Structure 1
Amino acid sequence: MRLRSCCLTALVSAVLLASCASQPPQATKPQPLPDGLRADVAVLETTDLHSNILSYDYYKQKADPTLGFERTVTLIRKARSQFTNSLLFDAGDTIQGSVLADYQAQVQKIGCDQELAIYKSMDAIGYDGGTIGNHEFNYGLPYLSQVTGTPMNVDGAGQQHCAGPHYPLVLANVNSVRDGKPIFKPWTMIERKVAAFTPDGSQLSVPLKIAIIGFTPPPIMQWDKQNLEGKVTVTGVVEAAQKYLPEIQAQHPDLVIAILHGGMNTSPYTPEMENGGWYLAGVPGIDVLLMGHEHTDFPGPRFANMQDVDDKRGFVRGVPAVMGGFFGKDLGVIRLALVRQQDHWVIDKSKTISQVWPICPPMMVGGKPTISPANCVPADPQVQLVVGKVQQATIDYVNTPIGQTAVRMSTYFADEGDMSALAPVNAAQIDYVQQELPSAHPELARVPVLGSAAAFRTGFGGPDDYTDVLPGPLTLRSAADLYFYPNTLTAVKVDGRGLKAWLEQSAQRFNRIDPNATGEQMLINDKYVGYNFDQIQGGIAYVIDVSKPAGQRIVKLIYHGRPVKPSQTFVVVTNNYRASGGGHFPGLDGNNVVLAAPDGTREILARWLQQHPSLGNQDLPPASWHFARLKTHGPVVFTSASDKQAVAETDGLHNVKQLRDNGDGTAVYSIDLAH
């Protein structure tokens, strides 16, 4: 018995020794990094690429070196060579916005095992993270789930893992109705090794933990109501940040970067705020803010008078921030100076600065900064190799013939009364609803149907950013030029009072003109975007008096020669964006929709053009509005593409005259409101 006990004791000891020997050695606690250690990290940002991968204008079928991700890549490589440490993020509106994007989403739809061309291009250069913009939802949640490689617990979306970008996408403020959980990861942690320097100049390779959290504009529930209603809910950006920052901080990140597809607005905060960047910067725990959506630059003069904003060095309420333009025209760059203090990395704000690097640095011409294609950085050749095949397939597709036109349809003077490019859109919309409405709503069969359209391309992106369909052959490219966005057709029921309010809202496109002023007065209110200047046709006629204050400018409104009565009923055909509240038009919130078509407006337009194979003025509704006659002491002016006065003359605007060429492809014109 004693012998067996001794043997058992020896056996247990041996097992314990073997067990101890098999355990990994205790990890040694990393030595704390010394105070005074410094590291410069370049935080690079793209935003609002809108699938402009190559420097190409699909509508004019020519190279356009002033835009395109392939040129942004050249700047990214430059930044990486200039800065030892760098991180690259994207702030959304990435997968929609070009003909190529529509081709992959709606024509030659990609399979689950295929990666989107824009994501393949971005993977070729390597990103560290990104977020989701409002236009990512335009093609619906099933498509978004597929192309981002993100299974979603929402109606219609698949649960399989498809090919997506090779970098993490984060989104904290959109949740599934089914389970209340975010449809994307709300945040994630990435770890990188960075080069740091001690006060004596010695270099160390040290770990850096970066938390990224993403946000999209809450109004997506209005803008994409037909894709999102009943499937997801949205929270305000501040509320979402406050919800997730405690669990982020529990992981002890060195930096927290907020990636917001939104800009800045200092109006009183609401959870529905479209551009909540100023308020997001004030949430404790956010160290860096990346922005987008507004298609502009920060730092930049647009934000010069905003409270607690440094529009020169790029700080918002003390937080380093950047917004890197749109369409691949710019790269946002924050040179983040970090210093180690009390076992934490701290941002040295005195040595931190934000910049926006343009792909086409402006040149001074006649004392004025001017964009010249000759001064643009070269394209990175790798991007063309990645997307060359789908690019050619897209070009072949949009050149599909659909008819002929004897009418030039352009938007050079759409703000001044030339409706040539809007007339075919309105004609197609009216025709579609007149055919479909009687079966859907027999009680509305005799109600007048009007069409509402806005000029989407009015020079915001430069002198080539205008629709211009020349007389001659029409192709699918022509339809895409005439109708830029992949909206669906929607019809709403309004009364005469609502119709006038709609037109009054649109007339905010103009500044108030003082007839007694002797100097030049700008006609166009640049703060009111062109795509919100709806122009309505279909038997109505109206007059806009720009000498009157906003809200009182529609001084005459008639339907077939008779004044419109406040109680008179109309059906107005528009798009899903406007009908659901986009642009904040009075009375348009989705509740008065009488027809929500499954078809895209562009496709409806293309079919209508095919049904009118020899398009002439006789097929188009006449212009429906003009300015009230107004004698002014000084000139009333506006800007458009240069040398287009003949276009204005041909389209009946005999009161428009080019005053001076700006030397950058644009010119200043005058309009004589007395005639």
Structure 2
Amino acid sequence: MLSRACRSTALALAFLLAGCATQAPAPQAPKLPDGLRADVAVLETTDLHSNILSYDYYKQKADPTVGFERTVTLIRKARTQFTNSFLFDAGDTIQGSVLADYQAQVQKVDCGQELAMYKAMDAIGYDGGTIGNHEFNYGLSYLSQVTGTPMNVDGGATQRCAGPHYPLVLANVYSARDGKPIFKPWTIVDRKIAAFTPDGSELSVPLRIAIIGFAPPPIMQWDKQNLEGKVTVTGVVEAARKYMPEIQAQHPDLVIAILHGGLNTAPYTNDMENGGWYLAGVPGIDVLLLGHEHVDFPGPRFAHMQDVDDQHGFVRGVPAVMGGFFGKDLGVVKLALVRQQDHWAIDKTKTFSQVWPICPPVTVAGKPTVSPSNCVPADPQVSLTVDKVHQAAIDYVNTPIGQSNVRMSTYFADEGDMSALAPVNAAQIDYAKQELSSAHPELANVPVIASAAAFRTGFGGPDDYTDVLPGPLTLRSAADLYFYPNTLTAVKLDGAGVKAWLETSAQRFNRIDPSATGEQPLINAKYVGFNFDQIQGGIAYVIDVSKPVGQRIVKLTYLGKPIKPSQTFIVVTNNYRASGGGHFPGLDGTNVVLAAPDGTREILARWLQAHPSLDAKDLPRTSWHFARLKTRGTVVFTSAGDKQAIAETDGLHIIRQLRDNGDGTAVYAIDLSH
């Protein structure tokens, strides 16, 4: 049943008189005949991360496999195919590209200037959206300004600036000053739609949709330096239950929950990152729009999940969709509505969800493969809206900062090539030592080591790797080496804590059985690459992938001597990790000794400028390797194709390419016996 009104008119009136409702009283809907039918498409984008154009700012070339300008082509197609459609965005919209960083940190947009991402979205027209975790990366002041949302929080904008031309809703983040939501928690979208009587006659009828939005609760950890003491967060289920009576008092025909989160059937907690499965169980929610996980739903990732239909797109009986990331896809929920007993109901036998890719896969050697030549064309209107700032961002990141005599890449970062992590760790160590000498002279004799992860290891496709060639370095090089706008943070740990950190990172690998005769994948695809931290700075260790999780770090030393469990270290990392991001043991923000105001990327750029002719001797040595392991079968992994020579140059002679996948990637073998 779609219209979940209050149990009685008196109850609805009580909510209104109590001041609970944030909308004007619902208008009296005209009586519509039973048997009326209407198909409504709910379209979704999510995790666009300001990938407006099909362009790779790091490699300075077009990339037709990403980009909102191509998603718009699919949106126009959907609007042609479906007479009735609504378009929503599920967050992580304003951060994630060079263009986004340029507008937030370099040439900041002023109050009267609309953000490029929102300008592009307004060009196609949205009906609503929510806020993701990465929206908070640039701070509440910036978020308040660019969304056109005055906020009663420390640093929040008090005037209304230029923002998107569609409503943003967020129900589970509140001001620490007054306890009120920093965004409107929910709103109503009213629209006339085409409906059809049983005899085929067309009627124009009203459809009243309520939308309510949710961010992942762990933002309080991930962006602690931006949010602590300024906002509070509740769980998504608690927020939904809090506001559902207000929404129901408005008698909507549909309630759409827009969650920047995915699906997890683990026991529910109020800080659950991906609470969509539980949100679907809140009475009154009719449609669920998902995000954050950078995967497609419906899709095979969710096969065998309890009460989830990964073919037709239902979560606990609720139609749902998650439309990929970076503008690679459009989520589509096709709702079949039927009028029954004076309300709209969903005919679930004729309702389904789909994810439309901008690059429909083609079959190569019997496998579905993404081919750039098979991508839909870009919509020309989008580039016209952002062309000037796009070119300005390109000009900025091409600012020279030095010269390198070494190649720094992440093609084999999971296999021990630390060339792209070494400059990050070197810069972090230098900065921390300088700052700590004055801020904490009592720590002068404590060893300082640093942790970094390879952010680009092929998750987004064969071009999604860092690769800084020998030659001139620019700000683009620093942005390629350090992808996120994190700030530098240092924590104090003992030797046992350092080992626990590394053991957690080593979950990146599957357990390898030496006696198995078939191929064994080295990489655990369920453990994301940006959580595979690698520590340098006098430390050395060996990873034994034949051992179970928690027992893989062997021969852990500092300056050649075994690390004692009680030995003290300063580990330099980023604010995300130090505040608990990734759920590493001993990292919860309580042991921070340095919280720098400077971004890690900017620290790295200054370090590169201070080494105008970067050479291998300027970088810390590779700190780890795999334990020797003779296997009967072949241990394999996937990376970009035809890169074996890079592995050889960087000393990884144990790697050889086995076969080309035909999609820009290749399968490699790694010989762990040497």
For the aligned pair, the TM-score class normalised by the smaller chain equals: over 0.9
Secondary structure class of the residue paired with 1:547: coil
Determine the C-alpha separation between the residues in 2 that align with 1:186 and 1:559: 51
Deviation by residue 1:5-30 (Cα, 9 ceiling, x = unmatched): xxxxxxxxxxxxxxxxxxxxxxx976
TM-score by length of 1: 0.96
Aligned to 1:266: 265
Deviation by residue 1:332-371 (Cα, 9 ceiling, x = unmatched): 0011000000000000000001000000000001110010
Answer with 434-443 or 72-81: which moved more.
434-443
Q: Identify if the C-alpha distance between structure 1 residues 69 and 30 changes in structure 2 by more than 3 Å, giving closer, same or farther.
A: closer
Within a 5 Å distance, the mapping from 1:192-341 to structure 2 comes to: 192-341=191-340
Q: Which amino acid aligns with 2:79?
A: R
Deviation at 1:31, TM superposition (A): 4.3
Superposed CA RMSD: 0.7
Aligned to 1:479: 478
Aligned to 1:116: 115
Within a 5 Å distance, the mapping from 1:119-134 to structure 2 comes to: 119-134=118-133
Aligned to 1:19: none
Aligned to 1:606: 605
Determine the C-alpha separation between the residues in 1 that align with 2:126 and 2:370: 29
Aligned to 2:5: none
Q: Which amino acid aligns with 2:161?
A: C
Deviation at 1:121, TM superposition (A): 0.1
Determine the C-alpha separation between the residues in 2 that align with 1:273 and 1:328: 26
Determine the C-alpha separation between the residues in 2 that align with 1:219 and 1:671: 37
Determine the C-alpha separation between the residues in 1 that align with 2:106 and 2:129: 26
Aligned to 1:521: 520
Aligned to 1:659: 658
Secondary structure class of the residue paired with 2:244: helix
Deviation by residue 1:104-137 (Cα, 9 ceiling, x = unmatched): 0000001000000000000000000000000000
Secondary structure class of the residue paired with 1:86: strand
Aligned to 1:506: 505
Deviation by residue 1:200-249 (Cα, 9 ceiling, x = unmatched): 00000000000000000000000000000000000000000000001100
Q: Over alpha carbons, which structure has the higher Rg?
A: 1
1:553 maps onto 2:552 in alignment:
yes
Q: Which amino acid aligns with 2:130?
A: T
Within a 5 Å distance, the mapping from 1:176-191 to structure 2 comes to: 176-191=175-190
Determine the C-alpha separation between the residues in 2 that align with 1:137 and 1:156: 13
Aligned to 1:12: none
> Structure 2 stretches of 5 or more lacking a match?
1-26
Deviation by residue 1:530-561 (Cα, 9 ceiling, x = unmatched): 00000000001000000000000001100001
Q: Which amino acid aligns with 1:441?
A: H
Secondary structure class of the residue paired with 1:349: coil
1:373 maps onto 2:356 in alignment:
no
1:426 maps onto 2:462 in alignment:
no
Deviation by residue 1:272-316 (Cα, 9 ceiling, x = unmatched): 000000000000000000000000000000000100000000000
1:154 maps onto 2:136 in alignment:
no
Determine the C-alpha separation between the residues in 2 that align with 1:436 and 1:386: 43
Secondary structure class of the residue paired with 2:507: helix
Within a 5 Å distance, the mapping from 1:457-472 to structure 2 comes to: 457-472=456-471
Determine the C-alpha separation between the residues in 1 that align with 2:572 and 2:260: 30
Answer with 268-277 or 438-447: which moved more.
438-447
Q: Which amino acid aligns with 1:590?
A: G
Q: Which amino acid aligns with 2:469?
A: L
Determine the C-alpha separation between the residues in 2 that align with 1:88 and 1:579: 37
Deviation at 1:438, TM superposition (A): 1.4
Aligned to 1:643: 642
Secondary structure class of the residue paired with 1:65: coil
Within a 5 Å distance, the mapping from 1:533-612 to structure 2 comes to: 533-612=532-611
Determine the C-alpha separation between the residues in 1 that align with 2:114 and 2:638: 41
Deviation at 1:96, TM superposition (A): 0.1
1:77 maps onto 2:69 in alignment:
no
Determine the C-alpha separation between the residues in 2 that align with 1:309 and 1:556: 45
Secondary structure class of the residue paired with 2:594: strand
TM-score by length of 2: 0.96
Q: Which amino acid aligns with 1:512?
A: R
Determine the C-alpha separation between the residues in 2 that align with 1:154 and 1:88: 30
Aligned to 2:18: none
Deviation at 1:579, TM superposition (A): 0.1
Aligned to 2:23: none
Q: Which amino acid aligns with 2:542?
A: V
Determine the C-alpha separation between the residues in 1 that align with 2:585 and 2:609: 35
Q: Which amino acid aligns with 2:153?
A: V
Secondary structure class of the residue paired with 2:281: coil
Secondary structure class of the residue paired with 1:670: strand
Determine the C-alpha separation between the residues in 2 that align with 1:430 and 1:31: 68
Secondary structure class of the residue paired with 2:43: strand
Deviation at 1:445, TM superposition (A): 1.1
Deviation at 1:158, TM superposition (A): 1.6
Aligned to 1:9: none
Secondary structure class of the residue paired with 2:205: strand
Aligned to 2:53: 54
Deviation by residue 1:73-120 (Cα, 9 ceiling, x = unmatched): 000000000000000000000000000000000000010000000000
Aligned to 2:396: 397
Determine the C-alpha separation between the residues in 2 that align with 1:615 and 1:54: 33
Aligned to 1:92: 91
Q: Which amino acid aligns with 2:646?
A: V
Secondary structure class of the residue paired with 1:639: strand
What is the percent sequence identity of the aligned residues?
A: 86
Secondary structure class of the residue paired with 1:557: strand
Aligned to 1:417: 416
Deviation by residue 1:622-668 (Cα, 9 ceiling, x = unmatched): 10000000000000000000000000000000000000000000000
> Structure 1 stretches of 5 or more lacking a match?
1-27
Deviation by residue 1:386-420 (Cα, 9 ceiling, x = unmatched): 00000000000000000000000000000000000
Q: Which amino acid aligns with 1:78?
A: K
